[in-house]
Amino acid sequence: MDMAKFAQSTVHADTGYPAVVVQMIWDKYSGPDASFRGQLPPAPTQSDELCRAGHLYVLLIYIHKHHSPQDAHYYRLPAYPEIKISKDTIYRKVLPLGRALVGIIDEVDFNRRLDPFNHPAVSAFKYHYTTLWDTFPIYVPEPSDFALAALLYQPKYGACCYKIQMGISFTGEIVAFSGLYFGTVHDIAIWRATSPSLALFPWELGMADLAYVGAAGLVTKIKGAVAPADILFNNIHEHIRNRIENVISKVKAHRIFQPGVFRGTYENIEMATMITGHLTALEQRLYPRFPGYGPWQHAY
């Protein structure tokens, strides 16, 4: 895929990502010179390779805007006039390519939390804190199956949803991204089920909101704080922790994740969510949203 054919603004408007991010994903996972292709079979001809490039681009449009396949936008790409995309092609070529990409994409790197520049400016959080944590919902229609609907309906959001658990560094890079979890599962239960696989160091701490009170390895605000020192700690904690809310809003900027928009299978919402998480991780690594401070080694 030659992203030089597209204007930078066009790529961002179509996919929600800078052109360099889209190009890097193509080169690493799908392109003719990719170092590993995983589940993607080799394209027999140059024409097939070109079509695959167009399909990847349309896949990202699908996630970002969730156009109806009947939209004219889907039938032809301005930079690739020889590629015509029909509704049938969406389901036969584009979405299967996305599901194959999920099996190999690997842009979320938990070890990045140990970067010597992954520190906030506040000295109290300098050596032991590495990550910020939260969950967020991915809205889905109410299933006809009563038992499944009961597992997905979350009163907090007033809708059926799956949950994603996400961890970020202090610069805003996504370093952990997992799901899909039933909407009724509590945040702390997700943490307790997943944290053992993270292999956190004994000295290591993360920051989270009050839903994680009592979670091993996570520090929350002090409930009912009245002492000036506690209030100051809460204010600093909230100021830093709000970074993850900012990154969550970036992930959910894609219209497909807004309430009432998605219509489709579990496999397709999982595909869209995981691809979004990994591409956003790459984007935040290339273009950090927040400053990092260092270089200082963590407490290990």
Partners of 138 in beta bridges: 162
pTM to 2 decimal places? 0.86
Claim to verify: residue 183 and residue 73 sit in the same structural domain:
no
Average pLDDT value for residue range 13-20: 85
Within a domain: 12: yes
- Taking CA 43 as the corner, what is the angle to CA 37 and CA 48, rounded to the nearest 5 degrees? 135
- Considering the domain architecture, whether residues 137 and 25 belong to the same structural domain is answered as no
Number of domains in the chain: 2
Whether residues 132 and 255 share a domain: the answer is yes
For residues 167 and 262, state if they share a domain: yes
What is the C-alpha separation between 41 and 59, in angstroms, rounded?
Answer: 17
Contact (Cβ atoms closer than 8 angstroms) between residue 282 and residue 21:
yes
Expressed as residue numbers, the domain containing 45 is 3-102
- Of residues 46 and 60, more confidently modeled: 60
DSSP secondary-structure letter at 227?
A: S
Residues 121 and 232 in one domain: yes
Q: Are 237 and 64 in contact (CB under 8 A)?
A: no
Q: What is the mean pLDDT of residues 228-245?
A: 92
User: In this structure, are residues 136 and 166 in contact, taking their beta carbons and an 8 Å threshold?
Assistant: yes
For residues 289, 62, 179, 174, the Cα torsion angle rounded to the nearest 10 degrees is -20
Residue 82, pLDDT > 80, answer no
Domain boundary among 102, 135, 150: 102
Residue 16 lies in a domain: yes
Confidence band for 13, pLDDT divided at 50, 70 and 90: confident
Do 156 and 258 have their domain in common? yes
Is 166:133 a contact under the CB 8 Å cutoff?
yes
Q: How many CB atoms lie within 10 A of CB 41?
A: 9
Mark which of 49, 74, 102 sits at the end of a domain: 102
> Is residue 35 scored above 50 in pLDDT?
no
82 and 219 within one domain: no
pLDDT, average across residues 29-51:
54
In a domain, 252, yes or no: yes
Mean pLDDT of the chain: 83
Whether residues 244 and 145 share a domain: the answer is yes
pLDDT single digits (tens) 106-159:
999 999 999 999 998 887 777 889 999 999 999 988 888 999 999 999 998 888
Same domain, 118 and 98: no
Cβ atoms of residues 68 and 84 within 8 Å: no
pLDDT bucket at 226, cuts 50 / 70 / 90: confident
Residue 300 resides in a domain: no
Angle of helix 95-102 relative to helix 266-286, nearest 10 degrees, comes to 60
Instruction: Specify if 294 maps to a domain.
Output: no
* Count of beta carbons in the 10 Å neighbourhood of residue 227: 9
Residue 4's pLDDT is 62
Q: Confirm whether 291 is domain-assigned.
A: no
∠ CA(56), CA(277), CA(177), 5° rounding? 145
Mean pLDDT of 214-220: 91
Residue 132 covered by a domain: yes
Q: Tell me the mean pLDDT in the region 28-49.
A: 55
pLDDT tens digit sequence for 163-215: 999 999 999 999 999 989 999 999 999 999 999 998 889 999 999 999 999 89
**Is 55 domain-assigned?**
yes
Burial category of 2 from C-beta neighbours within 10 Å (exposed 0-12, middle 13-18, buried 19 and up): exposed
Query: Please, which pLDDT band fits residue 36 given cuts at 50, 70 and 90?
Result: very low
Structure tokens at 63: 């996630």
